[in-house]
Amino acid sequence: MYHRFRVDVDLVIGGRDFSAALNPVLDFALAWQYLPSALERDGVVETSMSVQGLTYRVEKVGSGVVVSSNSHPPRCAKDDFDPHRVWLASPDFEDLVEQIVSGAFALLYEAHPKLSGNNYLNGLRERIGR
């Protein structure tokens, strides 16, 4: 049941709309959950959704993280130097990822309460540590 549970994700970062329509809720969360640790190791990381050509890119820049996407156009070309990218302080990025992962599991369990006892999902939640 959980692999068929798709949601429209409203994701606004720094005033930019990075939302995604009809994504499997766990696919979206898992695509984001590994970014902080991978970013520490690699400095630049891309993550893709499995059901569409949507890719998010994060990179360490100074004391923060820059988020961009291949599918989200800028609001206005005159907004800043590169309107496709948004800078976040590192703690804010960590909080964002935590909200994405926690929100995905909460939404899934709220919509399908029986899944809260699913051994695979509980183990997955424990393994990703968020």
Q: What is the CATH number of the domain that holds 86?
A: 3.30.2450
- Integer Cα distance of 40 and 60 in angstroms: 8
CB 113 within 8 A of CB 94: no
90, 96 contact by CB (below 8 A): no
pLDDT beyond 80 at 19: yes
Mean pLDDT calculated for residue range 81-106: 88
List pLDDT tens digits, range 41-93. 999 999 988 777 788 999 999 999 999 988 766 555 444 555 578 999 999 99
- Per the structure, how many domains does the chain have? 1
Name the H helices within the chain.
25-33, 35-42, 90-111, 119-128
Give Cα separations from 106 to 14, 64, 77, 102, 109 (angstroms): 24, 28, 37, 6, 5
Residue 25 lies in domain: 2-128
